[in-house]
Amino acid sequence: MRHLSVFNNVSVDGFFTDANSDMSWAHAGADDPEWQEFTRGNVRGGSELLFGRKTYDMMSTAWSTPEAMKRAPEVADRMKHSPKVVFSHGCDPLWSNTRCVTGDPATEVRKMKELPGDTEPMTILGSGTIVSQLAQAGLLDTVTLVVVPVIVGKGRTLFEGVDRRIVLKPTSTRAFANGRVVTTYAVGGAA
Q: Comparing C-alpha atoms, which of 178, 130, 186 is closest to residue 34?
A: 178
Beta strand 4-11 with 122-125: parallel, antiparallel or unpaired?
parallel
Q: Say what the pLDDT of residue 123 is.
A: 92
pLDDT at 45 over 70: no
Q: Is 152 exposed, middle or buried (0-12, 13-18, 19+ CB in 10 A)?
A: buried
What is the reported pTM?
0.89
Instruction: Give the mean pLDDT of the chain.
Output: 87
State how far the Cα of 45 lies from the Cα of 119, in Å rounded to an integer: 13
Whether residue 152 contacts residue 15, with contact meaning beta carbons closer than 8 Å, is answered with yes
Domains along the sequence of the chain with CATH:
4-190 (3.40.430.10)
User: Which one-letter amino acid corresponds to residue 112?
Assistant: M
CA separation (Å) from 71 to 14, 22, 36, 124, 166? Answer: 29, 21, 10, 23, 38
Binned at pLDDT 50, 70 and 90, residue 110 comes out as: very high
pLDDT at 71 over 90: no
Q: Say what the pLDDT of residue 26 is.
A: 87
Q: Which residues pair with 147 in a beta bridge?
A: 10, 181
How distant is the alpha carbon of residue 75 from its chain centre? Answer: 14
Whether residue 148 contacts residue 104, with contact meaning beta carbons closer than 8 Å, is answered with no
User: Which one-letter amino acid corresponds to residue 81?
Assistant: H
pLDDT at 55 over 80: yes
Binned at pLDDT 50, 70 and 90, residue 29 comes out as: confident
Task: Please give the average per-residue pLDDT across 109-129, as a whole number.
Answer: 85
Whether residue 10 contacts residue 185, with contact meaning beta carbons closer than 8 Å, is answered with no
Q: Where are the alpha helices (DSSP H) in 72-127?
A: 73-81, 105-113
Q: Say what the pLDDT of residue 117 is.
A: 62
Question: CA geometry: angle at 139 spanning 137 and 144, to 5°?
Answer: 120
Task: Please give the average per-residue pLDDT across 25-30, as a whole number.
Answer: 80
Task: Please give the average per-residue pLDDT across 88-98, as a whole number.
Answer: 80
Q: Say what the pLDDT of residue 190 is.
A: 53
pLDDT at 184 over 90: yes
Binned at pLDDT 50, 70 and 90, residue 191 comes out as: low
